[in-house]
A = this chain, B = another copy of it.
Amino acid sequence: MRATLKDIAEEVGLSVSSVSRVLNNTGRISTEKRKAVMDAAKRLSYTPNVNARELKKQTSSTIGVIIPDVTNTFFVRLLKCIDHRLWEEGYNIIFCDTDESVEREMEYYQLLKEKNVAGIIVSPASRSMIYESETQNINCVFVDNEPYMTEKPYSFVSINNLQASMELTQRVIDAGYRDIIMITGDLDETSSNQRLTGFQNCLRDNHMECSQDKIYFGDCHYKSGFEIVERLIENHNLPECIYAHNNVEAFGAYAALRKHGVRVPEDVGLVCFDGEDPMSPQGLSITGIVQPVEEIAEAAVDMVLNNMKTPGKYSRKLLPYQFLDGQTIRNKNE
């Protein structure tokens, strides 16, 4: 068994409260007894029981982080940045990977509450009802994607997906592409939704047709991007350019193209969000919009911490994004 304050107290013949005072540097204690306590603590290799302490003090040093898929390069970088910032502030993370499942997300959410977390940073899955079930105000910051249908106020940090998507689409058009399809995610995800809307808006603005058969629905997995594109190839239905709503589906799409000997960008263009892979074996980056992961993480952490100080104060932040001029489209005008 682990040593407790009581063990130390008995060891040195003092009261538990005195031992506590020594170990917390609170209150006045004679130097000799102090030394005795410190020695005993070391001897018994005492470690405080944080759970007991936080139960007593009604505090918590744990933050829950819920993300849909940690193997997605965007989310894993988000996780790492959040972890680093929180560590500096003396908090640590209960890690929750939902595999894009709303049910699992909900279960994790309940669990985090039971575990008494000081706050939650969540990149919600589609149709996330996390927040709706809530009666009391829990310190919850949403990232990347907004909760599904709620009248309740909440904190949120992301980029302006609508504007970013329009800008990206315009760049593709400016490069001379006309026949563009989009692989989108679940439209109940606000980020996917806005990216699709931005795509359609931009086509309309350019007086280009925007029929429904240019929209393909993926599920945020590699396999889905792969299969959609493979089907396009088999049906001899490849467009000039493929716009995937996120990096994972773009990677899947790329793999399908490569498998069938379709060259990028020579034969077909490919763009997406967050296609920058700093670890990419060949240093290849997919042209598109890049979200400022570090800044998003920092903002999310700040929001959670601020919410702890002044609960019920919600904020909303849309950070500037960047256009990454990668190697997956070419200028067809030249």
- Shortest CB–CB separation between residue A121 and chain B, in angstroms? 12
Asked if A266 is at the interface of the complex by the 8 Å CB criterion, the answer is: no
- Shortest CB–CB separation between residue A230 and chain B, in angstroms? 12
* Nearest-CB residue, chain B, relative to A3: B136
Query: Are A282 and B284 in touch, CB under 8 angstroms?
Result: yes
CA–CA, A55 to B110, complex, Å?
19
Query: Pick the contact of A116 from B49, B84, B116 — CB < 8 Å?
Result: B49
Interface mask (A73-99 → B, CB under 8 Å = 1, otherwise 0): 100110110011000000011111101
Q: How many copies does the complex hold?
A: 2
Asked if A312 is at the interface of the complex by the 8 Å CB criterion, the answer is: no
Query: Are A47 and B255 in touch, CB under 8 angstroms?
Result: no
Asked if A331 is at the interface of the complex by the 8 Å CB criterion, the answer is: no
- Shortest CB–CB separation between residue A130 and chain B, in angstroms? 14
Asked if A114 is at the interface of the complex by the 8 Å CB criterion, the answer is: yes
Which of A158-166, A188-196, A272-280, A298-306 lies on the face that meets chain B? A272-280
Q: Which residues of B contact A6 (CB under 8 A)?
A: none
CA–CA, A80 to B75, complex, Å?
12
Contacting B at CB under 8 A, from A37-53, are 45, 47-52
Query: Pick the contact of A49 from B114, B135, B277 — CB < 8 Å?
Result: B114
Query: Are B97 and A95 in touch, CB under 8 angstroms?
Result: no
Query: Are A76 and B83 in touch, CB under 8 angstroms?
Result: no
CA–CA, A275 to B47, complex, Å?
41
Give me the interface of A with B, judged by CB distance under 8 Å.
2, 45, 47-52, 54-55, 62, 65, 70-71, 73, 76-77, 79-80, 83-84, 92-97, 99, 108, 110-111, 113-116, 135-136, 222, 248, 250-251, 254-255, 258-259, 275, 277-284, 286
Q: List 22 A-B contacts (CB under 8 A).
A: A45-B135, A47-B113, A48-B114, A49-B116, A51-B116, A52-B55, A65-B95, A71-B76, A73-B279, A83-B95, A92-B108, A92-B115, A93-B94, A222-B278, A251-B280, A258-B282, A259-B283, A275-B281, A277-B281, A280-B280, A281-B284, A282-B284
